[in-house]
Amino acid sequence: MTITAATPAPVPAPPARRLHVGGTLAAWIGVAPFIAFALLFLLLPTLTVVIGAFRAPGGGFTLEHVAGLSQPRIVSAFWISIRLSLATAALGCLIGFIVAAAVTRGGLPEGLRSGVMTFSGVAANFAGVPLAFAFIATLGRLGFMTVLLREWFGFNLYATGFNLISFWGLVLTYLYFQIPLMVLVITPALDGLKREWREAAEVLGASRLQYFRMIAMPILWPAVLGTFALLFANAFGAVATAMALTGSSLSIAPILLFAQIRGDVLQDPALGYAIAFGMIVLTAVANLISILLRGRAERWLK
C-alpha cells in the first residue's frame, strides 16, 4: 500500500503592491478637496485669528489684546451671547426631542416622518437675512400674524410686552433653525433604541414611564447633552440673523466682533482678533463636548 502525501493547496499570491498604492492614491485624491477646503477656510483663518490676538503692533508677543476682553461692554456682549445660546439650546433640545420622539416612537404615519425630516433638513440651514425678514413679515409690528390677531381676534400682541427686536424675540427666531437641527441629530439615536429593550422591560413589569426613565433616557442622555453643546455652539456663532433682525440694539459677541473688524467708529482689528479668539475657545469647548458625548452615545447604541 502506497501512501501519497496530499498536495497542499496553493497559497494565493498577495495583491500587487501597485494596486494597493493606486487605490490609496485614488482615495487621497478623492478627499483632497475637503482637506483643501478645511485648510483654506477653517484652519488657516483660525490660526490667523489666534496669532493676531497675541501679536503686538510691532510684531512681538502681547497679552494686551486678550486683556481687553475684560472691558465691561465686551463682557456684557459675551454674557448676552451665552444666555442667548443657552436659552435656544435648552428650548431647541426640549422641543426638538419631543418632535423627534413623536415621529419615531409615536406611531404616526411614515409619510409624516418623511415630511418632518425633509422640513428639518431645510429649516436647519435657513438663517441670515431671509430668516430675519420672514419673522419681521410674520411677527413684526405690522407683520401678518400681528395684524391678523389684532383685526380678527382683538388681541394686540405688542400690548403684552412682546417685542421681536429684543432678547426673547431673537430667541424665538433662533429656534426656527435650532429645533430642526435637534430633530436631525437626535432621530438616529432614537432609532437606535432596540425594541427588545422595551419588550424586556414590559415583561419585567415596567411601565412606559419607568422604561423611559430607567432605560431609554440614560442611554439617550449623552446624545442629548452632546446635541445641547452643538446647539450652543451653533447659536453662539450666528451673526447674520441677529444683525438683520436687531441691528445694534442688542449687542452680542458676533455683532461686536463685526463692529471691531468692519465698523467705522469702533474699528479696532487687534481687539477684534481677541474677541474672535474668545469665541473660538468657547465654541471649540462646546464642539469638543458634543463630539465626546455623541461618541459615547453611539457606542451604547451599537
DSSP secondary structure letter of residue 216: I
Cβ-in-10-Å burial (0-12, 13-18, 19+) of 293 comes to buried
Residue 134 maps to a domain: yes
Residue 114 maps to a domain: yes
Range of the domain at 211: 71-301
The rounded percent of the chain whose pLDDT value lies above 70 is 88
Write down the pLDDT at residue 28. 84
Residue burial 180-199, b: 16+ Cβ < 10 Å; e: rest: bbbbbbbbebbeebeeeebe
Closest CA to 275 of 40, 47, 50: 50
Residue 20 maps to a domain: no
Out of 50-59, 130-139, 204-213, give the one with best mean pLDDT: 130-139
DSSP secondary structure letter of residue 267: -
Write down the pLDDT at residue 84. 93
> Which residue shows C-alpha cell 452632546?
226
- The enclosing domain of 275 has a CATH number of 1.10.3720.10
| C-alpha dihedral, 103 to 106 to 112 to 115, nearest 10° | 0
Confidence of residue 232 (pLDDT cuts 50, 70, 90): very high
Question: Are the beta carbons of 61 and 68 closer than 8 angstroms?
Answer: no
Residue 77 maps to a domain: yes
Number of compact structural domains in the chain: 1
Mean pLDDT of 199-218: 83
More confident residue, 21 or 239: 239
Cell numbers describing residue 228: 445641547
Mean of pLDDT over the chain: 83
Write down the pLDDT at residue 286. 86
Residue 140 maps to a domain: yes
Cβ-Cβ contacts under 8 Å for 251 (sequence gap 6 or more): 73, 76, 77, 80
Write down the pLDDT at residue 88. 95
Confidence check: pLDDT of 263 > 60: no
Residue 58 maps to a domain: no
Question: Are the beta carbons of 184 and 117 closer than 8 angstroms?
Answer: yes
Closest CA to 88 of 199, 250, 186, 235: 235
Write down the pLDDT at residue 10. 58
Cell numbers describing residue 200: 424586556
Residue 282 maps to a domain: yes
Residue 14 maps to a domain: no
Output the pTM of the full model. Answer: 0.82
Write down the pLDDT at residue 22. 52
Mean pLDDT of 197-203: 83
Confidence of residue 50 (pLDDT cuts 50, 70, 90): confident
* Cβ neighbours of 298 (radius 10 Å): 15
Mean pLDDT of 8-20: 52
Confidence check: pLDDT of 207 > 50: yes
Write down the pLDDT at residue 17. 47
Give pLDDT tens digits for 119-166. Answer: 999 998 888 888 989 999 999 888 889 999 989 988 988 888 888 888
Confidence of residue 269 (pLDDT cuts 50, 70, 90): confident
Cell numbers describing residue 2: 502506497
